[in-house]
Structure 1
């Protein structure tokens, strides 16, 4: 069964590889990026997101079965906050009504294992409040210092994974039959990471903070294949998850227990139900 996909960040990296593989399977793909694809749009602005979603839906013939928001930046600048969080969430919200009309709608966003790394709490709170003005103001403050500018990226990726988990079970997504999930790659070999990996000293630093014991650095296809499954009709029950396709970085960094923190609350709920 052929499907219609809208992919942001489709001009390069993970988005481009996903679009390529989907087209090889005869699916229709509408790419959204600054240039070089079907729809040119600037996802760093509210107007650009709205117009980009409108044009993408028009290019898709008014029908969309799946959306893969892949566009992202790693610059220690406020624009990263705008694109990585609001460029995904607002773009998706604009397309939700069309998605809900599909017989098998699906959404998978690109987060990052950087969602597990140090972040700025104030910026994260602004993201989770969907307050772009506050988020950009805080990102501007962080960008003024090279030591804190890199917190913008990690904060935006943590926010995406939290947004997915918060929104996925709700009426707009699960209630409309739309599985909403995310993937979190490790170090992916793309144009965005080329220069960093070419510097032996910086590459060694990356390997320290992103340990990938399974097969090391990954290519874009390893992420694209997971995105394709999550947005296929076969995925019927994954909801609100961030899938760490990261060569084991999550397992190394968080260890074997990511559940224990909530055991007391869960036990209390069961006790109250049984009373």
Structure 2
């Protein structure tokens, strides 16, 4: 499967050379319905999980109905696979030296205090997994079906991103705002068409909107955290049609096709979940932020 993002309408670095040093690679994942295996990069697919390694659980209390016993029960909850990414497919991941595979799981509940699904990351060497767990534990409790991703294959594609205007110096931001006013699309032209790719992606620059940019620092070493993964509620929306891949143009024009959200994931009612890792050591605790 291949997906190709059209070129940006304008080369923004020609108009603003100051942006050139701020360019970053991002890899759009382009999840689409499929039947991935543990040997594939995927969203919502099966994980290359070692038989002898304990499956992660969310230790918060959860309540669910046991249909076999016809009674209500409570306790920890088996976490759900969200994404599995091989470095061969997504080279911007920057894993630890021993690893070539990233696995992300979460609990399908919006837990306090920040009301987002708690996540766990695992870096591993695929070659070291000789016996793969065939049937993971059942996730007994699901608060929102929108946190249960549909199995999708991915079509990784590298694009170039520039910072959200809120992350730019004041003078450059003002210049961009004045320049935007002269564009056909108006004041949000840079934001929607030139800076940040929508959808699921690795690396790049983080999206903002619910809050101004928030500095995230590693709790272990104090280093500034780097964007790892953006989990999005949509691949595109009405303000970002230029980002629709060529291969999806026809079906994207069909109302109700669902292509704009193949995994069926909705983050906190339609936002993004950003995951950040420490650039000094990806094995230090990661952090998440909803935007």
Quick check: which one's helix share is greater?
A: 1
Same fold (TM over 0.5): no
When normalised by structure 1's length, the TM-score is: 0.26
Larger radius of gyration: 2
Structure number with the bigger relative contact order (C-alpha 8 A, sep ≥ 6) is 2
Quick check: which one's strand share is greater?
A: 2
When normalised by structure 2's length, the TM-score is: 0.25
